[in-house]
Amino acid sequence: MASTLVMKFGGTSVGSTSAIRQVIKIAFSARRQWDNVAVVVSAMSGVTDALLEGVTASIRDVTCADRAVAALREKHFNTLDELAPGAKDVRAKIGGYLDEYLVLCHAIHVLGVASPRILDAVSSLGELMSAQLVATALTEEGIFSVAVDTRTVVVTDEVYQSATALMDETTERCKTIISPVFARGLIPVLTGFIGATRQGITTTLGRGGSDISGAIFGVTLDADEIWIWTDVNGVMTADPRLVKAAHTIPTLTFREISELAFYGAKVLHPKAIRPVLERGKKLWVKNTFAPAEPGTLIVPDNGKPTDGTIRAVTAFKGQCIITVEGRGMLGVPGIAARTFGAVARTNTSVSMISQASSEQSICFVVSCSSRETVLCMMRDEFRFELACKDIDRISASSENAIITVVGAGMRHTPGIAGKIFSALGKAGVNVIAIAQGSSECSISLVVDSVETTKAVVAIHQLIT
Ligand code: ADP
Ligand code: ASP
Ligand code: MG
């Protein structure tokens, strides 16, 4: 059977001429070792943000769209001129996407609002442009490739800005659209992050969603391995932007990486893990700018007891604690169910639930952006209890960060929690709340957001 490799390149990996030259080198060597190679690309770094900022600013002042287009045109055309100077057709295609952007900005200006559906149409343009650039650059170097607009391939539900792929239909489309590209000996350069509903309306998988696309194609193309190429040497013991001493972790289990990704290690999107894990595929995270470095291999959990050492620490910023408190709650059944029912109605996900020391308070953590919506819904849910003072207060904290310490078997290892808290104590970090991780392999705690780096650095010193 033919061997298949899916490689996803992130924004920085396709963010400049020199970065795309690295992609070419990597694709060249993969081409020699694998029968089929598929490349999945993000937008050039900064482009998705620029598209969204330009469109939002155009609501009030439509000339912002012209400025955004000028900057995006310069970025893409300069890169194209350096990589494939004669590619007039590609220049025209990228120009066409930018014209589309202007039309969308004008429409939004007239409407006065930007719906999630229009925002998806806008933010999809970054990947559509980068796929054109990368496919042309590869072909120019003799690695014959074709850009594929994956809105024709990835069929999703209708949840704009956070769509989920319908895997069976997407697999069928892969067979009819991508398999023939392989059969012709070409590399398909697939747009990450985007898809379309059954009716053909553009959707996106959520910010950072190209990793999910990598996983989707790994599964639907039945790849042997999926390589996520990024700008650091794999998954590290902490975000290297926060901790200078962070180092690469050679292997991590799916459970460990799931905790890390869920609690803010941006290097891999949390939704990219499950589809790959369920099919038992090999998943690597590697550095585009240091391809000879081994990177990180994600391995299945083998069920063997682990030593319980700390493997990594992450920070999830922009969180706040919501607290429901009152002596009248003591022993009253159903308060917790009603609390989380109310939160669920706002469509907010709870990032952590803290164990209260008594039944007199419940606290949980949500993103700061949901603070007001959640508070309103909760105060409405408990309006009678508030009126008769069974509940004294429903309040929200200022900005916090969740610090999560990850390592399989850690929670059963005596002394680990003690070490973590004494390290934080020595560093003078005040721990506001503690929670059991969502699996056996993590401990999460909440600190004031200004203490994030101090907390991460202090815990990182415990990693050998
Ligand atoms: P890409 O555009 O390639 O998807 P991202 O910016 O989304 O890249 O993710 C890579 C970044 O994730 C790194 O530059 C790093 O700063 C950050 N990061 C956070 N936590 C970790 C970690 N534990 N290991 C490696 N990188 C991390
Ligand atoms: N370009 C998208 C974003 O910036 C998707 C990605 O990079 O993974 O969120
Ligand atoms: Mg990313």
Cα 356 to averaged position of ligand 3 atoms, centre (Å): 35
Rounded CA-CA distance 447/319 in Å is 10
Residue nearest to atom 9 of ligand 2 (CA): 207
pLDDT given for residue 249 in this prediction:
95
Range list of β-strands (E), 208-333:
225-230, 251-253, 282-287, 296-299, 312-325
Domains of the chain: 4-231 (3.40.1160.10), 321-396 (3.30.2130.10), 400-460 (3.30.2130.10)
Find the range with the poorest average confidence among 99-113, 271-285, 286-300: 271-285
241 lines ligand 1 (CB under 6 A): yes
Ligand whose nearest atom lies closest to the CA of 193: 2
Q: What is the pLDDT of residue 142?
A: 97
Q: What is the mean pLDDT of the chain?
A: 93
Q: Which two tokens stand for residue 87?
A: 């590619």
What pLDDT is attached to residue 239?
96
% helix / strand / coil in the chain, to the nearest 5?
45, 20, 35
Ligand 2 pocket test, candidate residues 124, 191, 210, most atoms within 8 A of CB: 210
Instruction: Summarize pLDDT for 97-154 with one digit per residue, the tens.
Output: 999 999 999 999 999 999 999 999 999 999 999 999 999 999 999 999 999 999 999 9
Least confident span in 91-95, 127-131, 403-407: 403-407
User: What would the DSSP string read from start to end of 425-450?
Assistant: HHTTPPP-EEEE-SSTTEEEEEEEGG
Average pLDDT over residues 176-198: 98
Confidence of residue 1 (pLDDT cuts 50, 70, 90): confident
48: left (phi over 0), alpha (psi -120 to 50) or beta: alpha
What is the rounded CA–CA span in Å between residue 303 and residue 209? 30
For residue 305, is pLDDT > 80?
no
Question: Phi and psi at residue 2, in whole multiples of 5°?
Answer: -65, 140
Q: Minimum-distance ligand to the CA of 230?
A: 1
From 12, 14, 48, give the residue whose CB has the most ligand 2 atoms within 8 Å, as the site to mutate: 48
Q: Is the pLDDT of residue 437 over 60?
A: no
Cα-based torsion angle of the residue sequence 404, 405, 410, 413 in order, rounded to the nearest 10 degrees: -110
Question: Which atom of ligand 2 lies at the shortest distance from residue 210's CA?
Answer: 8
| 280 — pLDDT class (breaks 50, 70, 90) | confident
pLDDT band at 279, cuts 50/70/90? confident
Enumerate residues 6+ apart whose C-beta is below 8 A from 235.
248, 249, 252, 257, 260, 265, 267, 268, 285, 296, 298, 312
Q: Which helix (H) or strand (E) holds 147?
A: strand 145-148
Give CA–CA dist 143/256, Å, rounded: 37
| Neighbouring residues of 229: CB distance < 8 A, sequence distance ≥ 6 | 7, 8, 9, 10, 13, 23, 26, 286, 287, 288
Q: How far separated are the first and last CA of the chain, in Å rounded?
A: 42
Which of 230, 235, 258 is the best mutation target for the ligand 1 pocket, counting ligand atoms within 8 Å of the beta carbon and taking the most? 230
Is 235 in contact with 267 (CB distance < 8 Å)? yes
Confidence of residue 330 (pLDDT cuts 50, 70, 90): confident
| CA-CA-CA-CA torsion sign (284, 286, 288, 292) | negative
Cβ–ligand 1 distance for 231 under 6 Å, the answer yes
As given in the structure block, the two tokens for residue 22 are 């690295």
pLDDT band at 304 (very low <50, low <70, confident <90, very high): low
Would you say residue 357 has pLDDT above 80? no
Q: At residue 440, does pLDDT exceed 90?
A: no
* Per-residue pLDDT at 409: 75
Q: Where are the alpha helices (DSSP H) in 61-193?
A: 63-83, 88-111, 116-123, 125-140, 167-173, 179-183
> Which residue CA neighbors atom 10 of ligand 1 most closely?
267
* pLDDT for res 354: 75
- Centroid of ligand 1 to alpha carbon of 401 (angstroms): 18
d(CA 308, CA 453): 24
For ligand 2, which residues put their CB under 6 angstroms from it?
10-11, 42-43, 48, 126, 192-193, 207-210
CA of 144 to the centre of ligand 2 (A): 25
Query: How far is the C-alpha of 146 from the C-alpha of 139, rounded, in Å?
Result: 8
What confidence tier does 414 reach under pLDDT thresholds 50, 70, 90?
confident
- Over range 207-231, report the average pLDDT: 97
CB 355 within 8 Å of CB 436: yes
In this prediction, residue 214 carries a pLDDT of 98
Helix crossing, 125-140 with 47-60: angle to 10°? 140
Percent of the chain with pLDDT over 70: 96
Q: In b/e form, how buried is each residue of 419-430, taking b as 16+ CB within 10 angstroms?
A: ebbebbeeeebe
Q: How far is the CA of 11 from the centre of ligand 2 (A)?
A: 7
> Ligand 2, closest atom to CA 209?
8
SS3 assignment, position 376: helix
Residue 308 is predicted with a pLDDT of 67
Percent of the chain with pLDDT over 90: 82
Q: What is this structure's pTM?
A: 0.93
* Tens-digit pLDDT profile for residues 146-182: 999 999 999 999 999 999 999 999 999 999 999 999 9
The residue whose C-alpha atom lies closest to atom 8 belonging to ligand 2 is: 208
Place of tokens 């309040």: 395
- Predicted confidence (pLDDT) per residue in 20-36, tens digit: 999 999 999 999 999 99
Residue 358 confidence class, pLDDT cut points 50, 70, 90: low
Residue 207 · residue 185 · CB < 8 Å: no
Quickly list H helices, 159-292: 167-173, 179-183, 210-220, 254-262, 273-278
Mean of pLDDT values over 252-279: 90
